[in-house]
Amino acid sequence: MLLSCAPDSNLPPGDPDNGGLFLPDGFQAVVVIDSVGRARHLTVDQKGDIYMKLRVPNSEGQGLVALRDTNNDGKADVVEYFGDYPDTGNYGTAMRIYNGYLYFSTAGEVYRMKMDMDNLVPTGDAELIVKDDYKNAEHGYEHIAKPIAFDNEGHIYVPYGSPGDVCQEFNRRPGAPGMDPCPQLEWHGGIWRFDANTLNQTQQEHGYRYATGIRSVVAMEWNQEENALYVVQHGRDNMNRTWPDMYSPWESALLPSEEFFRVDEGIDGGWPYYYYDQMQGKKLLNPEYGGDKKIEADPAKITYPLLGFPGHFAPNDLLFYRGNQFPDRYKSGAFVAFHGSTIRGPYPQAGYFVGFVPFKDGKPSGPWEVFADGFAQLDTIVNTGDAAARPMGLSMGPDGSLYITESVQGKVWRVMYTGKKGDFGPAALAKMEERKNTRTNIKDPHPEKDNLEVGLLEAGAKTYNLYCATCHQRDGKGDGTRFPPLAETDWVTGNKRRLIEIVLNGMEGPITVNGVNYNQIMPAHNFLSDEDLASVLTYIRKSFGNNAVSVSPLEVKRVREELAAKETN
């Protein structure tokens, strides 16, 4: 008994700062490798070797990476890129081991390669298991990531995400009604089952629709204890932009929920007709189908989630913990990697952490928790690109360690429990619970206090009136002859980097804005701080009839540093 509660002496030491991660007491993390490319899912074999799928192949055309630690210091000292296969699109995702084969996916295919016990890299050619022939691409081309899962009867499960947001005839057009019945559900918005060992399958000829009404899935796993498939769904987008009279920006930031489903054969998750409101605990009819925020789904016909996470957390991997290294409360529970939101403005972007859901008898036995945070290395994430790292993939090593990838540079962490299991209890989780309730990337935002644009716009207006209004006028329309307008022009609402460079460096020479030619000097404003520049650029991108995303001080800082580096070189 005493030995089983002692920390594993064979574990490598964690990094002094846990690789930048915040973890519950008793846990440590070591950075296995700092950057291998834009990593997606990973898997770890019984020898402890790591295999990862890159979102896109590297410059040599190889989209797979193998890592090995030969001296047990926790660091990968062997790194091999490999893979000779057609890689369709830019959404390579899956990486799993099944029956001695390494299975992986591109946006359009699922492949496998035979594992070689004597070599790190699998030998032989990649075999095509499933090919997406895009016969129904006329509906649209979105949500094409293909995670995979295997049951115990030789089947592989592949989701086919919705080709648009919510099955509108005119996709993502504000106020456009949804098609009823939704024709996209024939080949999209669900989970299909295939034979895991048959080559050259297509969805239309060989696939069996296992479940429907599931919009977009990247996080998926077969729960061995329950012998059932589980997924965490990405909910729909932009409720305020599409239905501004019905949903406030605050509601749009939190809704709809990212739904955690047990996917039994034949279930209907409700997409595109319904969404889940985790604050009310109700499945509600979408406004595209006549919903008024009150009409509920019939639970006898539509499957409700096990629980709902706040909107736009972007759940991108799911792992049920079956190891013995972690304290007992983690046994059989679910880890979820939240890649992080992109459309929560004007509120802070959220997600960017690994959560945990305790389970009992196949269902959540308590509220979701924060397990690992600190990936973004920011207190408040204004724009997605500000985050230093976005957690993406999860896998368990043979000793019970938890491995985590991120998708910006391709860093890999190994999380280990080095405390005494008998000492682990509520006190060890207290700081993580505090983080859940205070961090802007995790907590529900306050409708007024956490609205980032309030402060940005006020500060930006002052800076604009001081330095910009003389030429461009207070209404942003320019003077019509010498100084161009800032209203409704791609120079303002388009590429943020170009706009930042113009304000930092100034501009001289002819320019055409909204069909009118101008030829005046705009002086450099590099004397402004990163914060002042970000606020004034956010102000002009949100004013004068413009409605573009904010600019953050970090974005300005990066462009300023890159321009300075070019001048130095």
- Rounded CA-CA distance 487/482 in Å is 15
Q: Which residue has the higher pLDDT, 441 or 514?
A: 441
| pLDDT tier for residue 137 given thresholds of 50, 70 and 90 | low
pLDDT value, residue 273 = 98
Per the CB < 8 A criterion, the answer to whether 191 and 230 are in contact is: no
For range 145-167, the mean pLDDT: 97
| pLDDT tier for residue 402 given thresholds of 50, 70 and 90 | very high
Per the CB < 8 A criterion, the answer to whether 353 and 391 are in contact is: yes
For range 435-456, the mean pLDDT: 93
Per the CB < 8 A criterion, the answer to whether 353 and 338 are in contact is: yes
Question: In this model, does residue 6 exceed pLDDT 60?
Answer: no
In single-letter form, the type of residue at position 472 comes to H
Query: Tens digit of pLDDT for each residue in 304-342?
Result: 999 999 999 999 999 999 999 999 999 999 999 999 999
Question: In this model, does residue 160 exceed pLDDT 50?
Answer: yes
pLDDT value, residue 470 = 84
User: Structure tokens of 285?
Assistant: 């009819």
Question: In this model, does residue 3 exceed pLDDT 60?
Answer: no
For range 10-23, the mean pLDDT: 96
Element (H, E) at 97: strand 95-98
Q: Other C-beta atoms within 10 Å of 473: how many?
A: 17
Question: In this model, does residue 206 exceed pLDDT 70?
Answer: yes
Distances (CA, A) of 468 to 251, 398, 486, 525, 543: 34, 61, 10, 10, 13
| pLDDT tier for residue 359 given thresholds of 50, 70 and 90 | very high
Average pLDDT over the chain reads 94
- Rounded CA-CA distance 556/537 in Å is 10
Question: In this model, does residue 9 exceed pLDDT 70?
Answer: no
| pLDDT tier for residue 481 given thresholds of 50, 70 and 90 | confident
pLDDT value, residue 394 = 98
pLDDT value, residue 479 = 81
| pLDDT tier for residue 2 given thresholds of 50, 70 and 90 | very low
For range 175-189, the mean pLDDT: 96
Per the CB < 8 A criterion, the answer to whether 65 and 405 are in contact is: no
Per the CB < 8 A criterion, the answer to whether 33 and 389 are in contact is: no
End-to-end CA distance of the chain: 63
pLDDT value, residue 5 = 45
How is residue 138 annotated by DSSP? G
> C-alpha angle with apex 551: 547 to 552, nearest 5 degrees?
145
Query: Tens digit of pLDDT for each residue in 264-308?
Result: 999 999 999 999 999 999 999 999 999 999 999 999 999 999 999
Question: In this model, does residue 407 exceed pLDDT 90?
Answer: yes
Distances (CA, A) of 79 to 49, 66, 543: 10, 6, 49
| Beta pairing class for 511-513 and 516-518 | antiparallel
For the chain, the residue count is: 569
Question: In this model, does residue 138 exceed pLDDT 70?
Answer: no
Percent of the chain with pLDDT over 70: 97
Query: Tens digit of pLDDT for each residue in 115-127?
Result: 998 999 998 899 9
- Rounded CA-CA distance 487/500 in Å is 17
Nearest to 322 by CA among 394, 263, 425: 394
Element (H, E) at 471: helix 469-472
- Asked if residue 484 has a cis previous peptide bond (ω within 30° of 0), the answer is no
Q: Which residue has the higher pLDDT, 522 or 14?
A: 14
- Rounded CA-CA distance 104/191 in Å is 17
- Rounded CA-CA distance 31/403 in Å is 10
For range 521-545, the mean pLDDT: 93
| Beta pairing class for 307-309 and 27-33 | unpaired
- Rounded CA-CA distance 552/383 in Å is 7
Question: In this model, does residue 1 exceed pLDDT 60?
Answer: no
